[in-house]
Amino acid sequence: MMASISAIAQSQFYNNPQSNHGNRFEDLGFLLPTPNEYRTASGAPGPKYWQQKANYDIDVTLDEQKNYIYGKETVTYFNQSPDKLDYLWLQLDENIHNPKSDNNTDKTNKITDHLTNSQILSFDPSQKMEGYGVNLTKITDAAGKTLSYTIVQTMMRIDLATPLAPGQQIIFKIDWNYKINNKAEIGGRGGYENFPEDGNNLYSITQWYPRMAVYSDFKGWQHEQFTGGAEFALTFGDFKVKITTPADHVVAATGECTNLKQMITPAQYDCWTQAHSSAEPVEVVTLDEAKTAEATKSTATKTWVFEAKNVRDFAFNSSRKFVWDVMQIDINGKKIMAQSYYPKEAYTLWRKYSTKIVAHTLRTYSKHTITYPYPQATSVEAANGMEYPMLAMNYGRTEKDGTYSEATKYGMIGVTIHEVGHNFFPMIVNSDERQWWWMDEGLNTFCQFLTEQEFDNNYPSTRGPAHLITKYMRLPKDQLEPIMTKGDAVASVGSNAYAKASTGLNILRETVMGRDLFDFAFKQYAERWAFKHPTPADLFRTLRDASGVDIDWFIRGWFFGTDPVDISLDSVKWFRLADNNTAGFQQQTFRTLGQERNKVDSSIQFDTDKDTTLRDFYYYNRGADAMLRAGDQAIKDTASLDRQNFDTWKTKNFYELTFSNDGGLVMPLIIEWTYKDGSKEVQRVPVTVWRLNEKQVSKVFIKDKEVTAIRLDPFKETADINEDNQNWPQMPMPSKFQLFKAQSGGARGQSTGGNAMQKISPQKPTQ
Ligand SMILES: [Zn+2]
């Protein structure tokens, strides 16, 4: 993100960090790359914006006996860049399971007591990776001539005999195979899960084919290694994939199945047709059919054909354990199949919620971003949470009797919204997660939060509300990192890239911009960058440019910094105007000897005595202007400075409040006043109140009524980490022991770091 020159520029920019008048309100300036003809200063794609394209034609066989994938692909790569390319980079993601890959040897660890078996293995994961990794059996050009290539762990460079000129395309072919990982044994974002009770596998075949790396105007080739952490950067293209599986498997995949009628029974195909006009999900493969299929294993095969246009990836799931239900929905006139595939182990929960949650997710995201552009969206119960175009893998197994806990229910709904939501970020708004986790995880978690809150007004969202991020923001500085930290260098991915980034967007929406301005700007970003490759600068610039709100102070503090918000109400002083109308504002009582002599000199007749029309408000009230100027601007502007008005001011209460910025990050002042008569008022002072002094400010507020209490941030919307210094008079805060007692009535455990929720008690699903 930051070029080396920016480090120098930045140090000049931060010229006086100790000053009261620091740099928190400066433009993002050197922190962002210079706008150019590819990316404009307004955050939109520029007039010469370009991106590459890769089409894939793939034949793949899933060998259930050996747990192997055998693939052959033909890639057509279009060089739409202005550059000639001497070589191409591809991703061989399955090489993360190659024992020699750095990600199996670069983990830090220490010997501790109480080691479990798996912890011992984690010292040297390469030991359990023998036999894994991608085997390339053929790489040729379209004519069958072998191409030379070099493998760099999870990346591969193919050298071109003739450079690929701008505007040209190249066709090449790759044959490969690999041993599929058992997820329970060696982990992985894909792989298979074995069900010992019936002996069947559920396959998640993901990042499984040699995939084109992204070549862009801002990075060149993106070939940072895949370590299993920071996810993917991918090029858009069209896919045609023929998937050969055991004949009794049901396959869920990216895209549309073009030979579905041959893949399922006529009765099932009738159900599929019926689902196009049903308001409720229809089971195409029923629970009974799935249970029957589990009992035997076919040795025959069949070949499913899927096609997908303008997607950045392709994944599939395959198993004979799947129940499959479908419902067609309509979003802004577009017909979309919402679908779910799940084993019997998840049936009661998934049958009730999954497809309806898929539908709700597509509708809500479409409202806040762009209308969902693909023909279908699928959620598969695969005991994890991972996203691909039109295909999301989620979790949510029930107890054996079909009941499920509250934690499982909300975990399942939350993860389904999240992973299906990833269709928008990064599958459509195609950011680079290898570089910036938060660009899709943060934006997607923010939209997940909106979607949860629109599902149920009392939905227990864990990431989004400002007050839930304070636990993380309160950590010591050496445990915090900026959101703008590169991919795999982020230590606290959940708290940082997901929670803090999504919370930042929520604060922009609810507190800094307001919903109308934010929603317009956020939608602009999605519309501008749908089916393109945005960078952080494009997001920040669009949000500012479209909203008309200067948010650089917030972006600088929240995304580039680690300072928390901690605004303290230091003091409250109460003033009233003195009763005496001539002395009321008279601040200067000292009179010179000359003034006294003039007063008794009978030869002097003062003009203001001779002509009393020369007397005004100030004649009677010296110093009034200074006093009023300190007051509330709005009230001052309406005041006409006459005698009658002074009588009005006499009844007012003037409160001088002093605030300190103890945390570092500036925020608007949100003040709740409680009056003597019991009524309350919330007043908002813009963040720019801190512009001339970022450390301490005082401000006078004029009130008709007497104030009995003042509280800062009453809705906990600024992520202020310290509630002890926000009240006047000082309120006793419950100690930790009291707090524990107060919550023991069954409140939900909220966690900043993840979706983990306390299991309360198994709950019978209501039907
Ligand atoms: Zn995610």
Ligand 1 centre from 223 Cα, in Å? Answer: 21
Quote the pLDDT of residue 235: 98
Query: Distance between CA atoms of 118 and 115, rounded to whole angstroms?
Result: 8
Ligand 1 centre from 671 Cα, in Å? Answer: 36
Ligand 1 centre from 445 Cα, in Å? Answer: 7
Ligand 1 centre from 420 Cα, in Å? Answer: 9
In the block, residue with structure tokens 């003042």: 710
Evaluate whether 174 touches 136 at the Cβ level (below 8 Å). yes
Maximal C-alpha separation, the chain: 126
The arithmetic mean of pLDDT across residues 208-230, rounded, is 96
Q: List the shell of residues around ion ligand 1, using CB closer than 5 Å.
A: 441
Ligand 1 centre from 231 Cα, in Å? Answer: 9
More confident residue, 8 or 58: 58
| Measured CA angle at 388 (ends 387, 392), to 5 deg | 50
pTM passes above 0.75? yes
Confidence of residue 766 (pLDDT cuts 50, 70, 90): very low
Ligand 1 centre from 305 Cα, in Å? Answer: 28
Which tens digit of pLDDT belongs to each residue from 541-566?
999 999 999 999 999 999 999 999 99
Quote the pLDDT of residue 744: 38
Using DSSP's 3-state secondary structure scheme, residue 625 falls into: helix
Averaged pLDDT score across all residues of the chain: 89
Question: What is the DSSP code string of 63-89?
Answer: ETTTTEEEEEEEEEEE--SSS-EEEEE
Query: Distance between CA atoms of 483 and 1, rounded to whole angstroms?
Result: 12
Ligand 1 centre from 421 Cα, in Å? Answer: 8
Confidence of residue 755 (pLDDT cuts 50, 70, 90): very low
Query: Distance between CA atoms of 594 and 405, rounded to whole angstroms?
Result: 89
Q: Tokens for 498?
A: 């997901």
Least confident of 232-236, 255-259, 527-531, 727-731: 727-731
DSSP annotation of 565: B
More confident residue, 633 or 129: 129
pLDDT-above-70 percentage for the chain: 87
Quote the pLDDT of residue 431: 97
Ligand 1 centre from 432 Cα, in Å? Answer: 13
Ligand 1 centre from 207 Cα, in Å? Answer: 16
Residue 292 backbone zone (phi > 0: left; psi -120 to 50: alpha; other: beta): alpha
Query: Distance between CA atoms of 369 and 553, rounded to whole angstroms?
Result: 25
Burial of 575 (0-12, 13-18, 19+ CB in 10 A): middle
Ligand 1 centre from 431 Cα, in Å? Answer: 13
Quote the pLDDT of residue 597: 87
Q: What share of the chain is helix, strand, coil (3-state, %, to 5)?
A: 30, 25, 40
Ligand 1 centre from 53 Cα, in Å? Answer: 24
The arithmetic mean of pLDDT across residues 18-38, rounded, is 86
Q: Tokens for 640?
A: 């006409």
Ligand 1 centre from 444 Cα, in Å? Answer: 7
Which tens digit of pLDDT belongs to each residue from 221-269?
999 999 988 999 999 999 999 999 999 999 999 999 999 999 999 999 9
Confidence of residue 114 (pLDDT cuts 50, 70, 90): low
Confidence of residue 109 (pLDDT cuts 50, 70, 90): confident
Evaluate whether 665 touches 558 at the Cβ level (below 8 Å). yes
Ligand 1 centre from 498 Cα, in Å? Answer: 8
The arithmetic mean of pLDDT across residues 116-140, rounded, is 82
Which tens digit of pLDDT belongs to each residue from 134-174?
999 999 999 999 999 999 999 999 999 999 999 999 999 99
Question: What is the DSSP code string of 384-437?
Answer: S-EEETTEEEE-----TTS-EEHHHHHHHHHHHHHHHHTIIIIIIB---TTT-H
Quote the pLDDT of residue 661: 96
User: Cα-atom radius of gyration of the chain, to the nearest Å?
Assistant: 32
CA distances from 481 to 383, 491, 652 (A): 30, 8, 47
Q: Tokens for 326?
A: 């479908």
Evaluate whether 414 touches 392 at the Cβ level (below 8 Å). no
CA distances from 82 to 48, 165, 166, 315 (A): 10, 8, 5, 31
Ligand 1 centre from 387 Cα, in Å? Answer: 7
Quote the pLDDT of residue 731: 67
Query: Distance between CA atoms of 128 and 235, rounded to whole angstroms?
Result: 32
Using DSSP's 3-state secondary structure scheme, residue 161 falls into: strand
Quote the pLDDT of residue 623: 62
Ligand 1 centre from 419 Cα, in Å? Answer: 6
Evaluate whether 295 touches 181 at the Cβ level (below 8 Å). no
The arithmetic mean of pLDDT across residues 695-703, rounded, is 94
The arithmetic mean of pLDDT across residues 120-137, rounded, is 83
pLDDT-above-90 percentage for the chain: 75
Ligand 1 centre from 229 Cα, in Å? Answer: 12
